Amino acid sequence: MIISKEVFGKTADGISVDLYTLTNANGVKTRITNYGGIVVSLEVADREGKIDDVVLGYNSLAEYIKDSPYFGAVVGRCGNRIAKGRFTLDGVEYKLAVNNGENHLHGGLKGFDKVVWEAEEVETPEGVGLKLSYLSKDGEEGYPGNLRCVVTYTLTNDNELKINYEAETDKATPINLTHHSYFNLAGEGNGDILGHELMLNADSYTPVDEGLIPTGEIKSVKDSPIDFTEPAAIGSRISQVEGGYDHNYVLNRDNEDLLSLAARVYEQGSGRVMEVYTTEPGVQFYSGNFLDGSLAGKSGEAYGKHYGFCLETQHFPDSPNKANFPSVILNPGEKYSHITVYKFATR
Ligand code: GLA
């Protein structure tokens, strides 16, 4: 197990940013930067032992700063959309930054994906890690309270990328942290993900309106192209889903506090399997619908439509405005704590 560090570049305001390389006992390797907590690469073996980088991204910090659709980043203070960027908490109406039509998306104009985190290398019996800390100040992007966040990535010797999210606040605030890697189990830049076989452990989802804001309904996936309770190729019914998949699934869970299986993805050509476990009640399955070939990634290949997919574990979108959804409010004195694991194997 090894961790090494190099300079990745500088932000526009001259802050130096690093790139950490974590290698586990089996040679699985990931590179993570403290700019946005971005997972820049993740190298895992296929069934023959051939290594590929299975996440989309860039080679340089400048490219991430210039234009990135949240490649590999930590997303916060609230992932996904909050309708019209407004919510009321304890009788006070808050107005958040609006950056997606009339709505707030992924934390606003300068979300957690665009800030520099403090980094500390950690070694635990289960693997090597990087502990990232960030203080989001009271009023940042419109959110109330000073929020201290710690996100720890651990590359375990069981070939898992494990993410621990922790936070504390001094005023009640919504919080909904997630991770935005775009995966391609055949290797980044290596075509689209429509042939990947997906299973989602979810019997229902939260339907949305034209602005992708949940209507509040929790609807069964049964008899619809949204249903992935049985493994199916991502592309098998995608033409029946307007715009492609960009849906929040309500996960089937036995125990609210423990990690449970959210998803399993299999790519036949390489034999790679990725399983996702989480303590969160939901997962956003996004099939890379907005990738349009205008961004070229690490291998120089243009990332076309559906060249990667995201499984963003989360509380449901627009929760601050939906009383029937599990609450995203963190109060002073409480500890926010969630875990998500992306586990790799071959078949
Ligand atoms: C999430 C959203 C999508 C899109 C992507 C990033 O998955 O739900 O609509 O914003 O992030 O482009």
> What's the full length of the chain, in residues?
347
The alpha carbon of 282 and the centre of ligand 1 are apart by a number of angstroms equal to: 15
Active site residue 179: no
- Catalytic: which of 168, 188, 280, 312? 312
Q: Which atom of ligand 1 is nearest to the CA of 79?
A: 1
Distance CA 303, CA 96 (A): 31
Q: Which atom of ligand 1 is nearest to the CA of 69?
A: 12
Q: Return the pLDDT at 257.
A: 79
Active site residue 312: yes
Q: Which atom of ligand 1 is nearest to the CA of 312?
A: 7
Which residues touch 259 (CB under 8 Å, ≥6 apart)?
Answer: 277, 278, 279, 339, 341
The alpha carbon of 286 and the centre of ligand 1 are apart by a number of angstroms equal to: 7
What residues flank ligand 1, with Cβ below 6 Å?
Answer: 69-70, 80, 105, 212, 246, 284, 286, 290, 310, 312
Tell me how crowded residue 257 is: count the other CB atoms within 10 A of its CB: 8
Distance CA 194, CA 235 (A): 4
Q: What domains can be seen in the chain, in order of their start residue?
A: 2-346 (2.70.98.10)
The alpha carbon of 252 and the centre of ligand 1 are apart by a number of angstroms equal to: 23
Q: What is the pairing mode between strands 29-33 and 39-45?
A: antiparallel
- Per-residue pLDDT tens listing for the chain (347 residues): 799 999 999 999 999 999 999 999 999 999 999 999 999 999 999 999 999 999 999 999 999 999 999 999 999 999 999 999 999 999 999 999 999 999 999 999 999 999 999 999 999 999 999 999 999 999 999 999 999 999 999 999 999 999 999 999 999 999 999 999 999 999 999 999 999 999 999 999 999 999 999 999 999 999 999 999 999 999 999 999 999 999 999 999 988 879 999 999 999 999 999 999 999 999 999 999 999 999 999 999 999 999 999 999 999 999 999 999 999 999 999 999 999 999 999 99
Distance CA 276, CA 213 (A): 25
Q: What are phi and psi of 263, to 5 degrees?
A: -155, 155
Q: What residue type is assigned to position 101 of the chain?
A: G
Atom 2 of ligand 1, nearest CA residue: 80
Distance CA 165, CA 178 (A): 9
From 74, 180, 284, 314, the mutation candidate for ligand 1 (largest count of ligand atoms within 8 A of CB) is 284
Helical ranges in the chain per DSSP H: 61-66
Atom 6 of ligand 1, nearest CA residue: 69
Tell me how crowded residue 220 is: count the other CB atoms within 10 A of its CB: 12
Q: What are phi and psi of 162, to 5 degrees?
A: -110, 135
The alpha carbon of 61 and the centre of ligand 1 are apart by a number of angstroms equal to: 21
From 286, 287, 289, the mutation candidate for ligand 1 (largest count of ligand atoms within 8 A of CB) is 286
Distance CA 42, CA 309 (A): 15
- Catalytic: which of 180, 196, 306, 338? 180
